[in-house]
């Protein structure tokens, strides 16, 4: 694995940005589910991000997923539960 020199962050709640971000040539892409996404939009954003990751996995075969937020935050628990419950489908 080569060193990660460029990291590209994109808000996970903007479908057009999520669609384009992987083609930008960055070494790593971070789809933000937290700071860039309003609390009211988080539930609708999780499936969008999961679908994007599934698409990328189909093209590159390997994707790392990390959820970073305050461990005591309610949104952390919801995001983590969603991603884990969806892990059986390949994400």
User: pLDDT, tens digit, for every residue of 33-54?
Assistant: 878 888 899 888 888 888 888 8
Find all residues with CB under 8 Å of 30, minimum gap 6, and list them: 7, 8, 9, 10
How far is the first Cα of the chain from the last one, in angstroms, to the nearest whole number? 21
Q: Answer yes or no: is 2 within a domain.
A: no
**pTM to 2 decimals?**
0.66
| Parent domain of 26 | 7-89
- Residue 46, Cβ density class (10 Å: 0-12 exposed, 13-18 middle, ≥19 buried): buried
Residue ranges in the chain modelled with pLDDT below 50? 88-91
For the chain, how many structural domains are there in total?
1
pLDDT at 16: 92
Q: Answer yes or no: is 42 within a domain.
A: yes
Q: Answer yes or no: is 34 within a domain.
A: yes
Q: Answer yes or no: is 1 within a domain.
A: no
């Amino acid at each position: 694995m080569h060193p990660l020199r460029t990291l590209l962050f994109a808000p996970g709640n903007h479908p057009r940005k999520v669609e384009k971000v992987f083609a930008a040539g960055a070494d790593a892409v971070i789809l933000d589910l937290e700071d860039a996404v309003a609390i009211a939009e988080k539930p609708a954003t999780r499936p969008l991000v999961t679908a994007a990751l599934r698409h990328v996995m189909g093209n590159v075969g390997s994707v790392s997923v990390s959820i970073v937020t305050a461990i005591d935050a309610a949104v952390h628990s919801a995001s983590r539960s969603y991603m884990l419950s969806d892990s059986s489908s390949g994400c």
